[in-house]
Amino acid sequence: MMDSAAEFFSCSDRERAIFEAGIKLGSIYHQYVGMPISKENASSAEKAIMDGVRVQPFITGVEVSIRKEMLKSGKETYEYSSLTGEMMDVKISVRYGKEEVTARMKYVEKLNYPLMFLED
């Protein structure tokens, strides 16, 4: 894929792939945390997040899982949750040039934090 923005980046293909992965995970977190969610619409939310990420440049794969056991049922008028970082498990693959990286965002209990990191 031709990259018309390549001239603005002073880095290796691997560094660019890592940069792109970080930007995409950060955008997922900040765009979706706080959205109203319940067990009834969690699958739709997972699909919407994946579909939104897939159209971004250099993405080769995306998986999104929301921890449904943390959600309220949504069957009553005021029975819904707000999505938090602790509820999300996201894995994305980014290819730039000949380099491909896999990055992940998931809640790490040991850290008590929804961590973004390079998995591969």
Domain hosting residue 47, numbered range? 11-118
Domain presence at residue 38: yes
CB 93 within 8 A of CB 101: yes
Within-domain flag for 102: yes
CATH code of the domain covering residue 65: 3.30.1300.20
Count of structural domains within the chain: 1
pLDDT average, residue stretch 45-68: 96
Q: What is the pLDDT of residues 8-50, one digit of tens each?
A: 999 999 999 999 999 999 999 999 999 999 988 999 999 999 9
Whether 6 is covered by a domain: the verdict is no
Looking at the whole model, is its pTM more than 0.85?
A: yes
* Inside any domain, residue 100: yes
Residue 4 lies in a domain: no
Task: Scan for tokens 């929804």, then name that residue.
Answer: 114
Query: How far is residue 119's CA from residue 74's CA, in Å, rounded to a whole number?
Result: 34
- pLDDT at residue 74 in the model: 66
Task: Please name the residue ranges forming H helices in 1-120.
Answer: 13-32, 42-54
Contacts of 43 (CB under 8 A, 6+ apart): none
